[in-house]
Amino acid sequence: MINAFINMRSISVLFFLISFFLSLQVMANNNNSDEANKSDENASSSAELLNTYWRLTEIDGVPVVTKQEQREMKLTLRVEENKVNGFGGCNSFFGTYTHDVHALKFGPLAATRKFCADRMDQESQFFKLLSETTSYTINGQELHLIDGQGKPVLKLEAVYLK
């Protein structure tokens, strides 16, 4: 009777240990899966060039400061008919673009003709650098527009509506 009890006890302990080690294995697999999912999310967390609201943050390495009462400088490249539109700080603009892999070229841009004494120089520089853009890179949520010499001239960040 004692031997039967010891054998039953041994079997119970053995089942407990097997269950315990299996649950550890399941937990380890789940953690590895979570880490893989996080790295997949990070790898795919780059913003899309097209149909994204891009807010201008730097012109030639100089931060763009938008006062609270001002609209931010921005652009959106629309898929439909390769149209671009945006706001230069004083005037709205629109036009066309072409792109292929990392090449990006803006066609002639048209803009409204308001005068804003404190923003005209910055807006003119923004429009000029858009016309000189030949390529781009996207790193996460940042878009860098690059001129013909390979110099990043405009930096924008993706903005998502909440």
The pLDDT assigned to 118 comes to: 86
Choose one of 45, 61, 79: the last residue of a domain.
Answer: 45
**Euclidean distance between CA atoms 62 and 14, whole angstroms:** 68
The pLDDT assigned to 4 comes to: 55
Same domain membership, residue 93 and residue 37: no
Q: How many CB atoms lie within 10 A of CB 18?
A: 10
**Euclidean distance between CA atoms 23 and 12, whole angstroms:** 16
Same domain membership, residue 107 and residue 58: yes
The pLDDT assigned to 37 comes to: 43
Between 162 and 132, residue with greater pLDDT = 132
Residue numbers of the domain that contains 125: 53-159
CATH number, domain of 109, equals 2.40.128.270
How many residues belong to the chain?
162
pLDDT in tens, 48-105: 999 999 999 999 999 999 988 899 999 999 998 999 999 999 999 999 999 998 999 9
Domain count, the chain: 2
The pLDDT assigned to 45 comes to: 83
Q: Indicate the pTM of the whole model.
A: 0.71
Residue 27 has pLDDT above 90, yes or no: no
